[in-house]
């Protein structure tokens, strides 16, 4: 079984990497980009029977810093 975890900074948290990407896109002539938020995708190969609750626990304990990041799980 596979799971994907999408991790993004919460709204209101500054994203300097996203801002750097936005600036670089502008320098390359892509002027229509007004904002960029950067995140990460974590793909997990799980043993059959691993529950979504277990994946949530993984996120809460290690994969996401829940103080400043939110996450979404796809099984």
Q: Are 3 and 43 in contact (CB under 8 A)?
A: yes
Structure confidence by residue, pLDDT tens digits, 1-32: 999 999 999 999 999 999 999 999 999 999 99
User: Domain 2-74 classified CATH 3.30.1280.10?
Assistant: yes
**Averaged pLDDT for residues 62-67:** 96
Buried b (16+ CB within 10 A) or exposed e, 19-33: eebbeeeeeeeeeee
Whole-number average pLDDT of the chain: 96
Residue among 44, 37, 39 at smallest CA distance from 74: 44
């Amino acid at each position: 079984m596979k799971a994907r975890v999408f991790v993004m900074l919460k709204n209101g948290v500054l994203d300097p990497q996203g801002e750097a990407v936005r600036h670089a896109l502008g320098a390359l002539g892509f002027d229509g980009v007004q904002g960029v938020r950067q995140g990460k995708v974590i793909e997990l190969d799980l043993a059959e029977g691993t529950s979504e609750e277990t994946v949530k626990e993984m996120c809460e304990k290690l994969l996401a810093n829940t103080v400043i990041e939110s996450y979404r799980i796809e099984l």
